[in-house]
Structure 1
Amino acid sequence: MVPFLLFLISQLVISVIAIWKLIWKEENSRILIIMLAGGVIGLLSKLFVIVMGLEEDLLFSFSSTVCIAPFSSLYLKNSLSGRSSSWRTLLIASIPLLFSLLLFIYYLIARPYGMHIGAPQTITQHFRDVVLFSSLAFDSYLLYTYRHTLQRAMQHPNTQLGISFIIHKVFLSTLFLLSFFNLSATHFFLYTGLSSTTIILGLVIYFKIIRDYRPRNMEDPSSTPAKSTVKYQKNSIDNVYLENKKAEIASLMRKENLFLDADLASADLANRLDISNHELSIVFNYGMQTNFYQYINTLRIHYFLDHIDQIIGENKTILALAYESGFQSKSTFNKYFKQELGLSPSEYLKHHQHSLKAIKS
């Protein structure tokens, strides 16, 4: 039991550190914070049961699954829709957590006085299973609803993390189903389930802490301003050649919509034009007074604006259309949109809808 105790304590420490790191992340991380907080409560309840010498009641301790399952579904929904959850939605998702906490509090009160705990223990176990399978059903609904934009959304780390949560829940549900047929192995499944909590903690740390880290010398090239044209002024540039390449680029973008490829790089465009990457930089910096990323993302914004009525007519989300326009992340899209129009996407959409209503009236 000592190794298991050390395992719980180490998980507890890592979870607290992860929560502290996530506090400074974007708004969507508040869901992850609640999930990890639920995990901390679960670890503390198990730690309490072990310290009190009540190992036989481990299954009655607070199950972090009732917190992780619904909030992971909510996280996936936000990642696919590009919208943040309201506090009301978060409160509704917290109902299973609060109910499970009440059952554990009843156990803490009933156990010392020798009160009957058999029925609440059964309720705790089955309630956990109901929450888990309901969450998986909702995940299936989300994947079906956003099936048309899922492939592009999968390029974003938030969606990748949301899908990882689904895999985690499938793993847990498989263990719980097996436990019905092998009741003598209940504690084995409990320990395996606890190890899966380590997996989900590792996923959060990887996707939201390690992967989000960017050293200063490895900044996203899309955030790099256009290079100064001074360094190219000493080059012998044929203006006719320069204009021809500008026309070729415009033609490629107009006919083939290359900018819709989220993985498009300057080297890819240089290969299509049969010139070096350095020559392409000269065309952009000296001939267009911009850089590759600024040019491509501006075209993506224009494509988004040309198709913005799909958000209204086809009930498509802003983020879904942004992905279709070639953007890989919500932050990059918002940055270039505001840079181009001076408004956030949601603000612009409101103005656009008001304009349409005014025209119709």
Structure 2
Amino acid sequence: MNGEFLKLLISIQFLVYLFASFKVWLQHSVMIQNYYASLEKIRINWLRNILIGMCFIYLISLSSFVFTGAEILKLAPLLGAVLIYVTAYLGMKHSRLFATAEVMEPSPAHFQQKNDNYRNSTLGEDRKQEILFKMKDCMQHEKLFTDNKLTLPKLAARMEVSTHHLSQVLNENLGQTFFDYVNEFRVKEVQKLMIDPAYAHYSLLGMAMEAGFNSKSAFNTAFKKHTQQTPLEYRNSFQQKHEIKSDPIGKGASW
């Protein structure tokens, strides 16, 4: 009886740690979108997959309270051992994530409390509009979005404003994360390059790299989010419209 009770306590403890781990992962996912303009090298989706694997093992272990002696229960220790080795391998593979960052990264709690902090902010509407103007100028004229390592502190330093005020303006005035704001400019830049004869020999991925994207998947995801079309669909539809305008009577068509 005492053994079963101890197993139950361990299961509850494991569930609490699992829940806390998922919470930290979700906070991290939110935080990086407010801090970075490119996420490919800092996403930890592999850790999410490990947590899902732990959930699976937990469910198998939990079934021991109902199906005593079942053959499937023998899988739990084996799967647990495999998961430990996979975690160690992925941890070493992504060891850069644990290195000291070039710029000190705020904790997830920092972003969790931002909305509450904004209520006490002394940032007036005139100052907000000034920050918006400077931010737009940095994007449209200096094209800072083409820097694929652009971060919120980098942009704030260029604008000579605090990261807190810049983040507040993005969230309150534009309703966007830093990640979405920068990628919107990158997508518009690719759209311009598509009709620029000087870039006619570029591939879509080449244009994306010129605009600041650093991977094909990030480019495709952002482009579809902001245009509701894939890059290829957008380019083909634009080319079709251009052909129709340049040949309004339908050259070569049968009458």
Which protein, 1 or 2, shows the higher relative CO under an 8 Å CA cutoff with sep ≥ 6? 2
Give the unaligned 5+ runs of structure 1.
Answer: 1-155, 158-205, 216-220
Alignment partner, residue 287 of structure 1: 173
What are the residue-to-residue correspondences of 1:201-212 with 2, within 5 Å? 210-211=93-94
Contact 1:318 1:345 in 2 (8 A): yes
Cα offset for 1:333?
A: 0.9
The separation in 1 between residues aligned to 2:135 and 2:142, in whole angstroms, is: 10
Q: Is the 8 A contact 1:311 1:321 kept in 2?
A: no
Matching residue's letter, 2:175: Q
How far 1:303 moved relative to its partner? 0.7
1:266 equivalent among 133, 152, 156: 152
Which of 236, 239, 248 is 2:134 aligned to? Answer: 248
Structure 2 equivalent of residue 278 of structure 1: 164
Indicate the percent of aligned positions where both proteins have the same amino acid.
25
Query: How many Å separate the matches in 2 of 1:228 and 1:318?
Result: 40
Question: What secondary structure does 1:353 align onto?
Answer: helix
Write the deviation string for residues 220-265 of structure 1: whole angstroms up to 9, x where unpaired: x9xxxx9898432342331111111111111122221111111111
Residue 190 of structure 2 is aligned with which of 301, 304, 309?
304
Within 5 Å, which residues of 2 pair with 1:119-158? none
> 1:315: which partner in 2?
201
User: In the alignment, does 2:178 pair up with 1:327?
Assistant: no
Q: Which residue of 1 aligns with 2:240?
A: 354
**Max Rg structure:** 1
Amino acid at match of 1:261: D
Amino acid aligned to 1:267: P
Contact 1:242 1:283 in 2 (8 A): yes
Aligned with residue 227 of structure 2, among 333, 337, 341? 341
Name the aligned partner's letter for residue 335 of structure 1.
Answer: T
Say whether the 8 Å CA contact 1:246–1:283 is kept in structure 2: yes
2:214 and 2:238 map into 1 onto residues whose CA distance is 24
Structure 1 residues 284 and 312: alpha-carbon distance in aligned structure 2, compared to 1, 3 A threshold: same
Q: How many residues align?
A: 149
Query: 1:28-43 to 2 correspondence within 5 Å?
Result: none
Distance 2:142 2:223 in 1: 22
Which residue, 102, 119, 143 being the options, matches 1:257? 143
Cα distance in structure 2, aligned partners of 1:325 and 1:239 = 31
Report deviation, 1:210: 3.5
Equivalent-residue separation in structure 2 for 1:254 and 1:318 (angstroms): 21
**Which has the larger share of helix?**
1
Whole-angstrom CA distance in 2 between matches of 1:212 and 1:351 = 43
> For 1:300 and 1:327, how far apart are their aligned partners in 2?
7
Structure 2 unaligned blocks of 5 or more? 1-39, 42-88, 99-104, 106-110, 248-255
Q: Distance in 2 between matches of 1:213 and 1:356?
A: 47
1:358 is displaced (CA, Å) by: 0.6
CA RMSD across the alignment: 3.5
Say if 1:314 and 1:260 are closer, same or farther in 2 by CA, change over 3 A: same
Partner of 1:176: none
Distance in 2, Cα, partners of 1:255 & 1:248? 10
The 3-state SS of whatever aligns with 2:155 is helix
Q: Distance in 1 between matches of 2:140 and 2:199?
A: 25
Look up the equivalent residue of 1:354 and give its one-letter code: Q
Give the Cα–Cα distance (whole angstroms) in 1 for the partners of residues 216 and 113 of structure 2. 28
